[in-house]
């Protein structure tokens, strides 16, 4: 089967570096991602586009990319290009998307979007022809979130997904809708039931790492984030995922890294995971 992957860029955001790097001391992480005077670092909002058999499939980390951007009455400030603009550069619009795979349903919204929702103006869901796919166990978490991460789930968005009639939940046995060449692992360390989609290409598998391994610096097993619900489990899950990629010659696709899109991974003599064969951008990849 002919299958290609490429990158779609959403609107990057700035986030507190201390939260992103968890218990890692600031003097260490500030050398990896330089913060501004407010201690904020920039992270990407990168979506993977998989094209196969005439189908266009999006794989995204979190659900904020599902919401239509707010309408702007004032043209005094230029609008930042987002996911739909990136699709248009590929000659596609939102009606061309057949499926959206959501690793999880947490959403980090802009202040503008959050204010609209508080005022009862819930934006529409993008991709009106697409089926939405999410892990079954994670859906239960999103419907009944724990108080510790309740603010990361946008209740109107969850209800909108549920009422769309286009939501499919993926259980532990996988999903027949995707067929051969797709594999879905689950991860519980960052958030219970996070999906880790893996796509088989002729040169080996490509794993969409979601928020288990958001960027290249998190190849270090000890590097976790304050968002992780179970940091010890994150470390175990990362080791399992990375060992499989090393054994199978696979690649890792990063959703959050502001500079690196995809790498291969090897282990050095100290058993550390070392990235190589970097891709900073990914317009067309099928090998």
Please give the average per-residue pLDDT across 17-21, as a whole number.
Answer: 95
Structure token pair of residue 102: 């959501």
Task: Please report the DSSP string for 108-153 in residue order.
Answer: ---HHHHHHHHTT-PPPBS-TTPEEEEEHHHHHHHHS--TTTGGGS
For residues 189 and 214, is the Cβ–Cβ distance under 8 A? no
**86, HSE (Cβ side, Cα atoms, 13 Å):** 22
pLDDT tens-digit map of 233-284: 999 999 999 999 999 999 999 999 999 999 999 999 988 999 999 998 877 7
- Each residue's pLDDT tens digit, 147-199: 999 999 999 999 999 999 999 999 977 788 898 999 999 999 999 999 999 99
pLDDT tens-digit series, residues 103-123: 999 998 888 888 888 888 888
Find out if CATH 3.60.15.10 is the number for domain 3-63+81-105+127-279: yes
């Amino acid at each position: 089967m002919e299958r290609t992957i490429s990158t779609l860029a959403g609107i990057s955001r700035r986030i507190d570096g201390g939260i992103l790097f968890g218990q890692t001391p600031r003097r260490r992480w500030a050398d990896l991602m330089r913060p501004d005077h407010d201690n904020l670092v920039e992270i990407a909002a990168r979506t993977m586009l998989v094209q196969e058999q005439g189908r266009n499939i999006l794989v995204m980390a979190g659900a904020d990319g599902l919401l239509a951007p707010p309408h702007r009455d004032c043209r005094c400030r230029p609008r930042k290009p987002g996911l739909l603009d990136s699709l248009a550069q590929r000659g596609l619009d939102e009606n061309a998307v057949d499926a959206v795979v959501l690793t999880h349903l947490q959403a980090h919204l802009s202040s503008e979007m959050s204010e609209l929702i508080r005022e009862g103006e819930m934006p529409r869901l993008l991709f009106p022809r697409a089926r939405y796919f999410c892990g079954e166990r994670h859906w239960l978490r999103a419907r009944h979130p724990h108080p510790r991460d309740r603010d990361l789930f946008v209740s109107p968005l969850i209800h909108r997904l549920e009422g769309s009639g286009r939501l499919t939940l993926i259980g532990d046995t996988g999903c027949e809708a995707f067929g051969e060449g797709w594999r879905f692992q689950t991860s519980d360390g960052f958030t219970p039931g996070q999906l880790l989609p893996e796509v088989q290409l002729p040169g080996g598998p490509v794993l969409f790492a979601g928020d288990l391994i958001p960027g290249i610096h998190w190849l270090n097993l000890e590097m976790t984030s304050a968002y992780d619900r179970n940091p010890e489990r994150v470390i175990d899950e990362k080791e399992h995922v990375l060992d499989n990629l090393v054994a199978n010659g696979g690649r890792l696709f990063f959703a959050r890294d502001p500079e690196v899109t995809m790498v291969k991974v090897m282990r050095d003599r100290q058993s550390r995971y070392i990235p190589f064969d970097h891709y900073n951008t990914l317009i067309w990849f099928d090998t």
